[in-house]
Amino acid sequence: MTTPIVILGAGGNSLGIIDAIEALNTIRPTYRIEGILDDIPENQGRVMLGAKVIGRIEDAPKLSGCKFVNGISSVASFRKIPEIVRRAGVGTERFETIVHPRATVASSARVGAGSTILAGSVICPETEIGHHVIILQNTTVNHHTRVGDFTTLSAGITILGYIEIGANAFIGGGATIAPKVKVGAGALVGAGSVVIRDVPPGRVFAGNPAREIAGSPHAFR
């Protein structure tokens, strides 16, 4: 028997989630994608890889028996993820953890509910991944690293050992974070950055070595 699942968001991250679900189903039929929920009016009725947008985020409680996974996150929207999950109005137990079969997760690693780990990513031993974390393709999270709830790790990131990433942070594609660095809650690390010192909560850092950037995260769109 397959589990009906609904994806939040009709953006690029959801394409990766659909791909992961389809890959899992080729090994063993596990999920049936019921559709996508998205609040952008022009996305209503849109079809992505065979999955149709069937309503808004607030429609989630109407879909009884379904599991959910969030795909909404970008430089412009990542700080809204906790509110998006809240507006879905369903309990944590109804959020599914999706791990692409071509991702590697160590047996001693812990991954929270509603998190997604896409193809080629590696989650090393003694790592803790929180709830509703999005980890895109080919990202490595090394040993004894902790990633907070609602955080987004973009594609091609190298996160080394003993790192702490706070809740609702966003790490841009291709970034490298040196051992024992702390990235604060709600912080943004720009794509391609090399982070060798702590990033305070809510700040925007970018560059090699990464330094604080004045202004809004929207500058990184």
Q: Per the residue annotation, which of 131, 132, 143, 144 is the catalytic one?
A: 143
From the CB of residue 149, how many other CB atoms can be counted at a distance below 10 Å?
20
**What is the secondary structure of 195-210 as a DSSP string?**
E-S-B-TT-EEEETTE
How many beta carbons lie within 10 A of that of residue 124, not counting itself? 19
Distance CA 50, CA 36 (A): 10
> Is 143 labeled as catalytic in the residue annotation?
yes
Q: Are 54 and 34 in contact (CB under 8 A)?
A: yes
Count of Cβ atoms closer than 10 Å to residue 83 Cβ: 11
DSSP string, 145-191: -EE-TT-EE-TT-EE-TT-EE-TT-EE-TT-EE-TT-EE-TT-EE-T
Residues classed as catalytic? 143
